[in-house]
Structure 1
Amino acid sequence: MSTCLAVGAAVLHLTAGTFTLHWTHSIEHVAWEEDWTVLPDALRLDQSRIKGSGAGMEPGQDAVLQGDWWVSPGHLTVPALTLAASGATGQGWTFCADGACRTLGADAGPPISIAPCPS
């Protein structure tokens, strides 16, 4: 059984029901990754990883340094994610699921919403 996820105007059917977002902070140039699980009516953050720190990019209090990454368990459930697409950062987000990755929001445009498909 697959999980339905709306990403912008696209509808994806995820076999594992999970995805990872990766991006680099536009000012601090710090890599950030988040692992998410798609629930029937929400998205749950399972883990975040920050490769360093900087203004607004401090690891959480419960973060543990593993190699070059500060790793924190997730403590967040949200109905949807909204990704700004300014086109000014030179790159967007890398969205990975089911062994495939794609870039989101690299070019200027409207915000990109990621949410479970309406039931």
Structure 2
Amino acid sequence: MIAVCLAAAGLAISLPLQAFTLNWTHSIEKILWEEDYQVVQTASGTRLQLTEARIRGSGAGMEPPPDAVLKNGVWHYRPPLAPLERLHLTRSDYVADYQLCWGGQCHPLAELVGPPSAAPLVDVFACPSS
């Protein structure tokens, strides 16, 4: 079964997903950033492939790359990254939480693993194949 795993503060959960979007609001610019991921099989094992990123503006540390395309006020681009073993997310009670989106709905990480104060670090990764 293809699944995405979340690990935080001793908690591990599995979501039966092949693809998801991770989104968050930039802490300084207050601009939405979105990244689309797919679970892929590689010679090194099951990984997360970043397939597209979107930024709804630019600013401090958020400049879109030269190949980004502006569509309806949103910069779209594909970061040239190899499949990733894990995403390491650092959370804070002082900024908006990350959200995982699938099936047309977004879920704050607090809904999935608890508040940032209880789970400040979250790893997202493709669950090992069984």
TM-score by length of 1: 0.87
| Structure 1, unaligned runs of 5 or more | none
1:33 deviation in Å?
Answer: 0.6
Q: Distance in 1 between matches of 2:35 and 2:49?
A: 10
SS at match of 1:107: coil
Q: Which has the higher relative contact order, 1 or 2, with Cα contacts under 8 A spaced 6 or more apart?
A: 2
Q: Which has the higher strand share?
A: 1
| Alignment match, 2:128 | 118
Q: Distance in 1 between matches of 2:102 and 2:2?
A: 11
Q: Distance in 2 between matches of 1:103 and 1:57?
A: 22
Size of the alignment, in residue pairs? 115
1:94 deviation in Å?
Answer: 1.3
Deviations 1:7-27 (A, max 9, x none): 22211111xx11001111011
TM-score by length of 2: 0.81
Partner residue of 2:66 out of 54, 57, 61: 61
Q: Distance in 2 between matches of 1:85 and 1:99?
A: 23
| Alignment match, 1:96 | 101
1:24-103 mapped onto 2 (5 Å cutoff): 24-40=25-41, 41-76=46-81, 77-89=83-95, 91-103=96-108
| Alignment match, 2:22 | 21
| Structure 2, unaligned runs of 5 or more | none
Greater displacement, 68-77 / 51-60: 68-77
What percent of counterpart residues are identical?
40
